[in-house]
Amino acid sequence: MTKTITIAHGNGGQENNELIKELFYKHFENDILSKSEDAAVIEDGKLAFTTDSFTVSPLFFAGGDIGKLAVCGTCNDLAMMGAKPKYMTCSVIIEEGFATSELEKIVQSMKQELAINGAIVVSGDTKVVPRGSVDKLFINTTGIGEIEYKGISASNLVRGMSILVSRDVGCHGATIFAAREGIALESTLQTDCASLYPQIKKLLDARIKIVSLRDATRGGVSAVLNEWAKSSDVCIEVDEESIPVLEEVQGICEMLGFEAVDLANEGTFVLGVNKEDEQKALEVLQEAHKSASVIATVSEQYKGKVLLNSSWGTKRFLDLPTGELLPRIC
């Protein structure tokens, strides 16, 4: 551990993992927390429980705003544990001088996403701080959901299983960067920010056995795959050509020197299923996004590692992202 906190400690990658495991887990350790899932499973497996804070800059961006992001982020974490979002809290820290008209737009966005999930805000807190004490607006949300499908875990993968991604990757991180830097893109690129429970419900209704499930937020798809490989003690072999990436996102990645699989998403998830469920799961996912793809298989070649196979026949390890990446994207 470093002696001081850096921006890199919030990137969802290697430094973030070290901070959580070497500091917070050391003092808060318990059986529920140690599972490191998107949401805690409590009350004998009946409920999922999660919390998150949102500090995105700018507050408004193509396809969304901090309010939509807050509801989607929290409800999606519940959905990733097979739970239907039910109840949320909403706490806000507002900078003195913030426009009430903008605050109302943000709250209206939250209301719309809550309706999509069938959830309601049941408690909250409001704090106002002097100018310069916070950057305009920070939001914290906590969610409770009723588990409809049990047993989803990052530790369930075994050799022969298939890994799918629900749509093209990296749109949220690329959109935030473009908005932040004032890049005028001649395209329709916008965040993928969306509520994922309706899509998960379709997978459940199709009777697909979900083994592992995770939305690829900070740290992107590479962070999810690395966590799964370590948690399940398997090798995840990725076909690089099968990873769906929009041209606009790829262009921004080339500007930044990043890989699309490292960029944050807010409406894209990674799904692990048995081989026999692969095609049916893909068909369900492609009803929402034609770009949904099978991107990897599970093997035991290099346990705990993610192996990237290129179209040129070369292989390399896909490691956790390190460094600052794009700070304050969620």
Mean pLDDT along residues 219-226: 95
Confirm if 266 and 73 have CB atoms less than 8 A apart: yes
- The pLDDT-based confidence of 98 (bands split at 50, 70, 90) is very high
Q: Domain 162-317 belongs to what architecture?
A: Alpha-Beta Complex (3.90)
CATH 3.30.1330.10 fits 31-147, yes or no: yes
Neighbouring residues of 270: CB distance < 8 A, sequence distance ≥ 6: 163, 164, 165, 166, 212, 213, 214, 215, 216, 221, 224, 225, 228
Residue 15 has a pLDDT of 86
pLDDT of residue 188: 81
Both tokens of 169, joined, read 């990757």
Check whether 289 has a pLDDT greater than 80: yes
- Per-residue model confidence (pLDDT) at position 185: 58
pLDDT tens profile 310-320: 888 899 999 98
pTM for this entry? 0.94
Tokens 């509520």 label which residue? 195
Query: Which of 128-132, 137-141, 249-253 shows the lowest mean pLDDT across its residues?
Result: 249-253
Q: Determine the pLDDT at residue 75.
A: 98
Q: What is the rounded average pLDDT of the residues 128-150? A: 97
Please tell me the predicted confidence (pLDDT) of residue 184.
Answer: 57
Confidence of residue 183 (pLDDT cuts 50, 70, 90): low
What residue ranges do the domains of the chain occupy? 31-147, 162-317
